[in-house]
Chain A
Amino acid sequence: MGFAAFAEGIGMIASGTTFFWLIGGVLLGIIIGALPGLGPSLGMAILLPLTAPMEAGDAIILLVSIYSGAMYGGAISAILLNAPGTAAAAATTFEGYPMSRKGDALHALAISATASATAGFMTIIVIILLMPVLVDIVLAFGSPEYFLIAFLGLAMITVIAKGSILKGLTAGMFGLMITTVGTSPMAVQPRYAYTDYFDFTLTQGIDFVAVLIGLFAIAEMFNLAGEKGGISRTGTVISGSVIPGVKTVFKYPVNLVKSAFIGLGVGAIPGAGSTVSTFVAYGESLRSSKNPEEFGQGSERGLIAAESSNNGTIGGSLVPTLSFGIPGSAATAVLLGGLIMHGLNPGPLLFSDELATTYSLYLALFIGNILILTVGLLFITRMSFITRVNAIYIIPMIIVFAVIGAYAIRGGQQVWLDVVTVLALGIIGYYMKKYDYSIIAFVLGVVLGSIAEENLDRSLQLSEGSWMIFFHPIDQPLSFGLVIVIILLLFGPFVKSAINKYRGNGD
C-alpha cells in the first residue's frame, strides 16, 4: 500500500495544474517571507479563502509551498537589512547581517539558500522513509490517546509561552472557550448560539480561518501602524559571490546535519515551532564551535545552523499537524485550517485512505527545495527591492485583502459575522501581543478545542465514565506515558523555578 500511495503521490504532483501551484506557491512564499512583518502564517491566512474553489490537493500543496518558500524568504531581509522577515529568521540576523556589513551579502545569501535547501532535502527524505513506521504509530492511537495528545498540545503552552506561563495558559483557555460557541458536537445542542444579532447566527460557531486572519494579519497590521519605520529603507549593496557560498555549507557537514535534525525534532513537538528550533540549533552550534568568539561577527557556522534548522523544522512541524491535528507552528495552524476547510481531516485517514495526499505534500516540499536552491542562487540578488517597500503602503492593502478574504470564508448569513470576527480578533490579538500574551497559545486553544472535547467525551463513553482509561499503565500504556509527559511539561517549569528560588535563598 505504501509504495502504491507513494507512486500516486508522484502522479498528483506531476499533474499540470498541481505543479503550477507548487511553483507559484514557493515563489509567492519567498516574496511574503522577505517582507518583514508578514511571514508564512499571515500570507497563508490571507490567501486561504482564495483557495476555496480549488481542488483540495492543489490548495494544500499551494499552502505548503508558500510555507516552505516563506521560511526561506525570511532570511533575505534578515541578511540584507537586519530585519527578519519571519520570527524564525531572527537567529539568521546574528550572523547574516554582520556578513552583509562586511560586504559578503551574496556569500551569506548563497549559504542561506544552500543550507536551507540541503536541510530540507535531508529531513524530507528521512520523513518519507519513516512514513510506514509513522503510519503504524498514528494508527495505534485511539480516542483516549487523541484526547491526551490534544492536552499535550495545550501543555506545550508552558514551553512556547515566553514570559509568564499563566498568561499563556489563560490565552490558551480563552481560545478553547471560544470553540464552544456553536453546536455541541456530542449533545447536538446549540451553545451560546440561540440569539440572532444583526442577521448573525452562531449555530455554526466562530470560524477558525477568521480567527487566524484576525490574529495574524489584522493584529500585525495594527501593530505595524503604531510603529514608525516598519520596513527598512536601508539600501544595502549586495556583494560577495555564489559558488564559495555553496562550498562553505559543505565545509561543515556535522554542523549542517545536526542543525537540520534539531530543526526536525523540535519542529515535530506540537507548539514548539521554528523560532525555538533555530535558537536551539544556533546555541548548539555555538557551544560546539572551536571558535565561539567568531559568533556575532559574521560566523558561517552560525548562519548555516540557523538556516538549516529553519528549513528542517518544516517537515517536522507537519508530522503532528497531519497525524493529530496539532500544529507545530503558527503557519501549520493556518495549514490545518486549510486542510479542514478542504475536507481533509487530520488523523489516521491521512495515513491510510489519504496516504497519497500526505506523500504528495512531502514530495511538494522536496521539489520546492529544488526551486528554493535555484531561485536563491540565481535570482535573489534582484529581489532586494521588495524589502524597501514602506509599511504604510502595505497596511491598507493587507486590510483590504483580509476583510474581503473573511467575507469569502462562508456563505449565507455568516459573511458579516466572519468580518466582525476578524476585526475583533485583530484588536484582541494586538493587545495580547503588546502585553506578551502568547498568540500561539491562543491559536492552540482554538485548534485543539473540538478535538479535545470530542475525544474526551468519546473516551468517557467507552469507559462508561471511568477516568482510568487515561491512566491505566497495563491496559493503556500509551495513554499512561502521555500522562507522564504532560505532568512533566505542566509542572516542570514551576518546580524548576521553585528549586532555583530555593537555591538562590540558600546562597
Chain B
Amino acid sequence: MNLSTLKERVTAEHALLLFFLVVSLFFLIESRHLSDRAAAFPQFTAAATLVGTLLLLFRSYLPWPLTVFVQEQEGVFEDTVDDEMLEEIEEKAEQEAREAVEEEHEDEEGDTDDETDDQSAEVEVRYVSVMGYEIHGALFTVMATVGFIVLGYLVGLLWAAPVFVAGYLYALERPKRDIVILAVLSFMVAFSFLAIIGLDIDGGMLFDPQLFTVLGTDLPMGWLP
C-alpha cells in the first residue's frame, strides 16, 4: 500500500477512534494507582471502550463471526413498521419536496442571492474564505470558537462576545447593519449573565477593569469568582 492510498483511506473517523483508543488506554493504565474498589468500574469501562474501538478500527479485517457485531443492524422497533411501505412514502414525500423546490426556484429566478437560491434537498458544504484560503464552515467555526474562548480568557467573555460575533459575520460577508445589530445583541446577552446572575465575565488575565463586577456582589450568584 503506498502513501497516497493510505491517505485516502484514513478519515476523520479514524482520528476519532484513535482518540477513544488513547483515552481508554490512559484510563486503563492509570487505574493501576487506584485501590481495587475505586479501580473496578473505570477498568471495566475503559476495557470495554478499548475492545469496541479496536473492533471498529479493524472492522475490514475481521473474520465472519465478528463482523456480525460491527455491521449495520436493524433496531428492535423496526419490525413494527412496514419498511417497504415507509420507504415508498419517504421517497414520495422527498420527490414532492424536490418538485416544490424546483417550482419555487423557477418562481424566484429574479433573486440572485446565493443562499436564497440554495433550496435543494441535498446538503451543500459551506466554505468560508479567509485571507485567500477556502476553509470548511465547521472548521472555521471551531477556529472562531477557540479564538473566542482564548480572547475571553484574556480580556473577559463580556468583551470577547461582540468581537467574536462581529468577526464571524464579517468573515461570512454579512451586511454591516446585521453585523452591528448582532454584535450589540451578543453584548446584551453576555451582559445579562453579568447583571442577572452576577457572573464575573468583564475581565480576564490581561485586562480586569472590575467595572461591572460590583453589580454582581448582591445577586443570587454573587458567590462566583
A residues with CB within 8 A of B: 50, 52-53, 82, 93-94, 97-98, 101, 158-167, 169-170, 173-174, 176-177, 180, 184, 186-187, 189, 191-192, 218, 221-223, 225-229, 232-234, 266, 272, 276, 279-280, 282-284, 286-287, 292, 295-297, 390, 392-393, 395-397, 399-401, 403-405, 407-408, 411-412, 415-416, 419-420, 423, 426-428, 430-432, 434-435, 437, 449, 452-453, 456-457, 489, 492-494, 496-498, 501
Contacts and interface: CB of A to CB of B under 8 A. Distances in A.
Contacts of A434: 12-13
B182 A177 contact: no
Interface in B77-99: 77, 80-82, 85-86, 88-90, 92-93, 96-97
A276 B94 CA distance: 20
Contact of B97 (A97, A266, A498): A97
Contacts of A94: 89-90, 93
A393 B20 contact: no
Given A392-B169, A392-B172, A399-B148, A222 B142 contact: yes
A430 to B, nearest CB: 6
A504 to B, nearest CB: 13
A404 B161 contact: yes
A191 B52 contact: no
B147 to A, nearest CB: 11
A20 B78 CA distance: 41
A94 B145 CA distance: 36
B37 A457 contact: yes
A297 B92 contact: yes
Given A225-B126, A411-B224, A232 B172 contact: no
B186 A396 contact: yes
The 8 closest A-B pairs by CB, nearest first: A283-B81, A53-B220, A170-B52, A226-B138, A184-B38, A225-B141, A187-B38, A296-B89
Main secondary structure of the interface of A (DSSP, over half): helix
A166 B52 CA distance: 7
Contact of B89 (A53, A295, A431, A493): A295
Q: Which of B24, B41, B190 has the most CB of A within 10 A?
A: B41
Contact of A393 (B104, B139, B169, B225): B169
Given A101-B100, A226-B137, A232-B119, A423 B77 contact: no
Given A94-B90, A229-B119, A280-B77, A166 B56 contact: yes
Contacts of B157: 403-404, 407
Interface string B6-25: 00000111011001100110
Contact of A180 (B45, B100, B196, B221): B45
18 contacts: A94-B90, A97-B96, A101-B96, A101-B100, A166-B52, A170-B48, A187-B34, A228-B115, A392-B169, A393-B174, A395-B168, A399-B145, A400-B161, A403-B152, A415-B225, A420-B149, A427-B142, A431-B13
Given A284-B80, A396-B165, A396-B169, 17 more contacts: A50-B193, A53-B197, A98-B93, A163-B73, A164-B71, A166-B56, A170-B49, A189-B35, A227-B123, A228-B125, A229-B115, A232-B119, A233-B115, A408-B221, A412-B225, A426-B142, A434-B12
Q: Which of B76, B97, B153, B172 has the most CB of A within 10 A?
A: B76
Contacts of B34: 184, 187, 189, 191
Nearest to A165: B73
A293 B125 CA distance: 36
Contacts of A187: 34-35, 37-38
